[in-house]
């Protein structure tokens, strides 16, 4: 620019002394990105300047070859040349993908970035290698998350109840501060899942999922212990031998993946990977827990506990009606008795006055 500042033109210009070639390259890609050159020829010399520019024989590079010379167009006192890119078209595994604006394509989780065009009919061989470091980090994260979940479940399963903290009545809450009520209720709610059968089943399912072999995994790498993941205590926490894991990944990376993520087409539990087993079993346990306890505080969710609460509320309502009816009967009998006593008193007074 005239003020010495650079504009965001998205182009780079360079001169190659060896080939004696000057190039202008658009740093973006696709048909919407263009390189345009405009030269102010001055009044009366437009034709001569345009002829001079055309003699430079500027061409467009495509597939490593330079096209026929492009022509400048004169308009008034300006000569202009414009060259536009084209969207990429590529065939991957027999399928053609067109109009790739940014020269990138993602297929089956693999991102391809196309650097240059190749002649028609030319095949490019792509070799995809396993990212071992990423796989190791994922396995370490799995072990860490598994142990955290197991700790949380064991904590709730073994959390005993404070025997001296019953649920507060409204009268008791009214006589206490807000902070006192919160602390009391926290202890009153302790032990709600102590030795809970649902939690015991979930913990058992987790152990089963990580200890049994994966039937679909080939060769010697067919269980977690074979790739360095073993149980380190009676609670079932996992520990990782990273060296053993790296050895397994280097030898059979596909088998390591299969141990974790394989999903059997026939839904055979023994052939499913560890992560698939966990997702399946925990999903079923959560569904059972939802049917038992519900997922909201609304008792009308048709869960087992919701129905039980409704049953108790109906019994309480029926008992209140029974008590109200009994109370009314007593009032009627009391009134009848008072009337009888009043009549007897009147009769006694009559006879006494004779």
Give 183-226 as a DSSP string. HHHHHHTTTTTTT-HHHHHHHHHHHHHHHS--TTS-TT--STGG
Which letter does DSSP use for residue 300 in this model? G
Tell me, yes or no, whether 68 and 216 share the same domain: no
Question: Is 60 exceeded by the pLDDT of residue 1?
Answer: no
- 69 occurs within a structural domain: yes
Question: Is 60 exceeded by the pLDDT of residue 110?
Answer: yes
Tell me, yes or no, whether 26 and 73 share the same domain: yes
* More confident call, 158 vs 64: 158
Q: What is the reported pLDDT for 230?
A: 97
Phi, psi of 322, deg, nearest 5: -65, -45
What are the pLDDT digits (tens) for 130-147?
788 999 999 999 999 999
Sort residue 267 into left (φ over 0), alpha (ψ -120 to 50) or beta. left
Q: What is the reported pLDDT for 107?
A: 81
Tell me, yes or no, whether 278 and 311 share the same domain: no
Tell me, yes or no, whether 116 and 214 share the same domain: no
- 313 occurs within a structural domain: yes
Question: Is 80 exceeded by the pLDDT of residue 118?
Answer: no
Tell me, yes or no, whether 201 and 141 share the same domain: yes
Q: What is the reported pLDDT for 165?
A: 92
Please report, rounded to a whole number, the percentage of residues in the chain having pLDDT higher than 90.
42
Domain residues for 51?
Answer: 11-85
Instruction: Quickly state the pLDDT bin for 237 (edges 50, 70, 90).
Output: very high
Instruction: Quickly state the pLDDT bin for 2 (edges 50, 70, 90).
Output: very low
Q: What is the reported pLDDT for 154?
A: 96
Tell me, yes or no, whether 105 and 249 share the same domain: no
Q: What is the reported pLDDT for 26?
A: 61
- 129 occurs within a structural domain: no
Tell me, yes or no, whether 224 and 351 share the same domain: no
What's the rounded Cα separation, in Å, for the pair 55 and 194? 90
Tell me, yes or no, whether 228 and 147 share the same domain: yes
Instruction: Quickly state the pLDDT bin for 3 (edges 50, 70, 90).
Output: very low
Tell me, yes or no, whether 229 and 141 share the same domain: yes
The residue out of 293, 316, 342 marking a domain boundary is 293
- Burial zone of 202 (CB within 10 Å; 0-12 exposed, 13-18 middle, 19+ buried): buried
Tell me, yes or no, whether 289 and 151 share the same domain: yes
Question: Is 80 exceeded by the pLDDT of residue 283?
Answer: yes
Q: Which helix (H) or strand (E) holds 246?
A: helix 242-251
Q: What is the reported pLDDT for 99?
A: 72
Mean pLDDT of 290-314: 79
Tokens of 163: 């025997």
Strand partners of residue 62: 65
Q: Among the listed ranges 43-52, 206-215, 295-304, 342-351, which one has the minimum average pLDDT value?
A: 43-52
- 172 occurs within a structural domain: no
Mean pLDDT of 195-210: 94
Task: Give the Cβ contact number of residue 306 at 10 Å.
Answer: 19
- 96 occurs within a structural domain: yes
* More confident call, 96 vs 320: 320
- 20 occurs within a structural domain: yes
Q: What is the reported pLDDT for 177?
A: 94
Tell me, yes or no, whether 16 and 55 share the same domain: yes
Q: Among the listed ranges 65-69, 105-109, 175-179, which one has the minimum average pLDDT value?
A: 65-69
Instruction: Quickly state the pLDDT bin for 4 (edges 50, 70, 90).
Output: very low
Number of domain units in the chain: 4
Tell me, yes or no, whether 72 and 94 share the same domain: no
pTM above 0.85, yes or no: no
Question: Is 60 exceeded by the pLDDT of residue 32?
Answer: no
């Amino acid at each position: 620019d005239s003020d010495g500042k650079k504009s965001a033109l998205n182009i780079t210009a360079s001169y190659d002394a060896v080939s004696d070639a000057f190039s202008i390259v658009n740093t973006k890609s696709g048909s919407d990105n263009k390189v345009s050159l405009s030269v102010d020829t001055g009044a009366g010399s437009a034709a001569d300047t345009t002829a001079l520019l055309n003699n430079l024989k500027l061409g467009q590079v495509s597939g490593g070859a330079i096209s026929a010379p492009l022509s400048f167009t004169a308009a008034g006192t300006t000569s202009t040349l414009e060259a536009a890119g084209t969207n990429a078209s590529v065939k991957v595994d027999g399928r053609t993908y067109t109009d790739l604006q940014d020269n990138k394509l993602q297929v089956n989780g693999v991102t391809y970035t196309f650097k240059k065009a190749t002649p028609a009919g030319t095949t490019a061989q792509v070799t995809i290698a396993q990212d071992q470091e990423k796989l190791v980090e994922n396995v370490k994260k799995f072990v860490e998350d598994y142990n955290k979940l197991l700790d949380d479940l064991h904590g709730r399963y073994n959390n005993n109840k404070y025997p001296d903290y019953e649920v507060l009545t409204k009268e008791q809450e009214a006589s206490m501060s807000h902070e006192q009520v919160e602390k009391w209720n926290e202890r009153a709610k302790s032990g709600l899942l102590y030795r809970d059968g649902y939690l015991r089943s979930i913990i058992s399912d987790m152990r089963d999922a990580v200890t049994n072999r994966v039937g679909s995994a080939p060769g010697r790498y067919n269980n977690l212990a074979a790739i360095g993941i073993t149980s380190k205590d009676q609670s079932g926490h996992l520990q990782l031998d990273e060296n053993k894991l790296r050895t397994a990944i280097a030898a059979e990376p596909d088998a390591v993946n299969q141990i974790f993520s394989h999903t059997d087409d026939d839904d055979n539990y023994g052939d499913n990977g560890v992560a698939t087993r966990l997702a399946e079993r925990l999903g079923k346990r959560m569904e059972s827990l939802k049917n038992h306890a519900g997922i909201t505080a609304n008792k009308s969710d048709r869960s087992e506990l919701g129905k039980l609460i409704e049953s108790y509320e109906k019994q309480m309502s029926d008992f209140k009606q029974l008590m109200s009816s009994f109370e009314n009967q007593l009032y009627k009998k009391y009134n009848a008795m008072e009337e009888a006593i009043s009549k007897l008193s009147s009769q006694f007074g009559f006879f006494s006055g004779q």
